[in-house]
Amino acid sequence: MLDRIDALPADRQREVACWAARRAMRVAGLEQLGWIADALAAAEDGRPLPRAFTEQNGAAAYGRLMSDPEVPHTTIPLTPDPAFRAFGVAEVLQQAVAFPALVALANHDPLAAAIDAVRDAAIAHGDDRDRFLTEAHAALA
């Protein structure tokens, strides 16, 4: 999949990044929140993301995500990873792992944005990541 993304022209890489970010927001129940929907729309329209997403790697946007009472809180299982097993972590907050796909759209390099957004969206899909990756593969055609 990486080779296919790399072979795309820059404008198509940006489209893939936006597609993956939207999928991540949708699966995490974040797509309809006004401030997140506005950021997605800006990226899809080729406009810059709000400063909260671009400064300090999106620290202000992450802070808002974690404090916004409208944000759902669902957990998904982690794929077994020795780094997490050492700490006894078996689940993660889906919204927290999906959100980086949106922040990835702030990257000026469309290839990096696409790779990061697809990876983050796959993680956000939890046990359904294979279906997401199959859809991503089809979207690259």
Using CA atoms, how far apart are residues 26 and 120, in angstroms rounded to an integer? 13
pTM across the whole model:
0.90
Q: Which of 15-19, 75-79, 83-87 has the lowest mean pLDDT?
A: 83-87
Between 140 and 49, whose confidence is greater? Answer: 49
Rounded average pLDDT over 1-21: 93
Residue ranges of alpha helices (H) inside 10-140 are 10-27, 34-44, 51-54, 59-67, 82-85, 94-103, 110-124, 129-139
- The residues, ordered by sequence, that sit 6+ positions from 92 with a Cβ below 8 Å of its Cβ are 75, 76, 78
Instruction: Give the chain's mean pLDDT.
Output: 90
Between 25 and 87, whose confidence is greater? Answer: 25
